[in-house]
Structure 1
Amino acid sequence: MTSTPTPAQRISPDIARSWLLVNASRPELFDAAIASQADAVVLDVEDSVAAAGKLKARENVVDFFRRGGEAWVRINGFGTAWWEGDLDALAGFPGMHGVMLAMVETSEHVQKTAEKLQPHQKVVAMIETARAMMLLDRIAQSRGTFRIAFGLGDFRRDTGIDDDQMALAYTRSQLTIASRAAGLPGPIDGPAVGATGGKLANSADNTQKFGMRGKLCLTPEQCPIVNEVLSPSHDDIEWASSFLADFEAGCNQIRSASDTPKLARSRRLLDLALAFGIDVPGKD
């Protein structure tokens, strides 16, 4: 009997919305995370694991991959006592899709990490300090960078900036602009710690407003809400379908200067909807 793939097995990481962080010192959580609605599961041997438990957490991840598991791993930052060991232990497993590299501050951090990975494995660079923001363009344009993620908690700790939409507006905008300029997928926003329901939906809506296309999640229960908010809405799909139908009825002719951006947006929305398994009128 063929099992239904989980989102983490079928959603391409360049459009993944929910990135579920799982404490790697708790292997009993791994299977539930993989079975959840997370687009990407990230086994965490970095921030959620105390120094004394990092080697054991790494062993748990190795055991998971040896059993045929598939996931991402958030590894310790370049220059720490664990960075090289994390890569040496994990890079050879085909089930490891890539790494989320903590505390990236220069393009070299990404490049050195990418050099130790297998060709199919990717690096998501976590921006968590003021220094990283000052060098953001170089980090985004590094050959090894696949996508950028916002380490919100550590960034606030480093800068003293409040957890407020307006206070963090510049930072979020810069992450999106740098990603776009470097030809990367939309950046991954930081998590809404402890948020559920409407509060989480509002946080994810804020993520979307700033052009960020993914969000870190801390529990499996956060993933469905994040996925819903970061997906094309019913209104989006209705508008895109209507515009394309009208455009095709007009023999695919550009009629005004606004048609070109509308055409691109409508196609992007419908492509995303199909990729996320959302029903699109007229599409099988």
Structure 2
Amino acid sequence: MTDAPTIGPDLARSWLLVNGLHTDRFTHVGQADIVVLDIEDAVAPANKAQARENVVQHLSSGEHHAWVRINGFGTEWWEADLKSLAALPGLEGIFLAMVEGPEHVMRTAAMLPDGTPIVALVETARGITYLPQIAASRHTFRLAFGLGDYRRDTGFDDDPTTLAYTRSQFTIASKAAGLPGAIDGPAVGATGVALADSAGVTSQFGMTGKICLMPEQTPIVNEILAPSINDMSWALDFLKEFNEAGAEIRNGSDLPRLARANKILSLAQAFGLTPPDGYHHFPAPSDTYHC
């Protein structure tokens, strides 16, 4: 394994939320692909102005860069957040809370410089019903699942089976709109095996990013949401065999396997990953298995 290059927001796996009041944590972010300074849910109403000012000071010189989670459209802080942040040289993108329709993203984009990426954080049953339209908005860069608020809104349990339909909707809407993979909600307080299991669920539902609440969560999330050593070894072996056979499609399984192999190796390259020399993989579960 080599040192990973800078990961762009289209491929980013770990999205670390950092409370906007805790300035001492702004640069202690572990191995996060993306840092999101949070002036929304992590901050009490009485402290939102101070958190916003902390973020403005941190990003105003251009020395530091981060995304910012702002308060949702329709709240008393939304407009002030955008007016304060829009011109900052260190602002990389906006994590927009409580998105319930494409107009929320559109109105937010209108107050930002052209091209500022916006992640639409969908957190309510109403928002889920409008996921295809939110994803189809030209201003939506990526979808994210606000898991905690969604469960409070619906009364759903955190069991993966209970949330299977909802997670599937994020993946389907993202794919249909040509967006990068959706970002899953956090595993609150989880570390070790529990966190790996949670990130495994994220991956199983085709979601390619995950919100993190602690720097310690980021390396595990990055590992689980990246191609495994076994994946990479299988892809290299398949392409070697395919090319040695003339690089021609021989049957119906070659096309999906070729696409899977190329996707694995493209992601591995982006993340700076290589399998150890001499590693032998186990066969893929089936010819139609997709990464």
User: Which bracket does the TM-score occupy, shorter chain normalised?
Assistant: over 0.9
In structure 2, the partner of 1:3 is none
In structure 2, the partner of 1:228 is 223
Cα displacement string for residues 38-59 of structure 1 (whole angstroms, at most 9, x for unaligned residues): 0000000000000000010000
In structure 1, the partner of 2:49 is 55
Q: Distance in 2 between matches of 1:116 and 1:175?
A: 26
In structure 2, the partner of 1:206 is 201
In structure 2, the partner of 1:129 is 124
In structure 2, the partner of 1:10 is 6
In structure 2, the partner of 1:187 is 182
In structure 2, the partner of 1:263 is 258
Paired amino acid for 2:18? V
1:24 and 2:20 correspond = yes
Paired amino acid for 1:151? G
Contact 2:60 2:89 in 1 (8 A): no
Within-5 A mapping of 1:97-116: 97-116=92-111
Q: Distance in 1 between matches of 2:265 and 2:147?
A: 31
In structure 2, the partner of 1:43 is 37
In structure 1, the partner of 2:84 is 89
Within-5 A mapping of 1:136-215: 136-215=131-210
Cα displacement string for residues 81-129 of structure 1 (whole angstroms, at most 9, x for unaligned residues): 1111111111112321110000000100001111211223200001100
Cα displacement string for residues 226-255 of structure 1 (whole angstroms, at most 9, x for unaligned residues): 000001001100111111111111221011
Matched residue of 1:92: which SS? Answer: coil
Cα displacement string for residues 145-184 of structure 1 (whole angstroms, at most 9, x for unaligned residues): 0000000000000000011110000000111011000000
The runs of at least 4 consecutive aligned structure 1 residues that moved more than 4 Å come to none
Q: Which moved more, 1:61-70 or 1:140-149?
A: 61-70
Matched residue of 2:268: which SS? Answer: helix
In structure 2, the partner of 1:118 is 113
Paired amino acid for 1:26? H
Contact 1:270 1:280 in 2 (8 A): no
Contact 2:59 2:91 in 1 (8 A): yes
Normalised TM-score (structure 2): 0.92
Contact 1:110 1:145 in 2 (8 A): yes
- RMSD (Å) for aligned C-alpha atoms: 1.4
Cα displacement string for residues 208-239 of structure 1 (whole angstroms, at most 9, x for unaligned residues): 00000000000000000000000100110011
Matched residue of 1:104: which SS? Answer: coil
Q: Distance in 1 between matches of 2:66 and 2:13?
A: 15
Contact 1:16 1:39 in 2 (8 A): yes
Matched residue of 1:185: which SS? Answer: coil
Contact 1:72 1:96 in 2 (8 A): yes
Q: Distance in 2 between matches of 1:251 and 1:116?
A: 54
Cα displacement string for residues 19-55 of structure 1 (whole angstroms, at most 9, x for unaligned residues): 000000111110112xx20000000000000000001
The alpha carbon displacement at 1:280 in A equals 5.0
Contact 2:229 2:275 in 1 (8 A): no
Pair 1:15–1:211, CA change in 2 (3 A): same
Matched residue of 1:200: which SS? Answer: helix
Structure 2 counterpart of 1:64, from 58, 67, 73: 58
Q: Structure 2 stretches of 5 or more lacking a match?
A: 278-291
Matched residue of 1:38: which SS? Answer: coil
Normalised TM-score (structure 1): 0.94
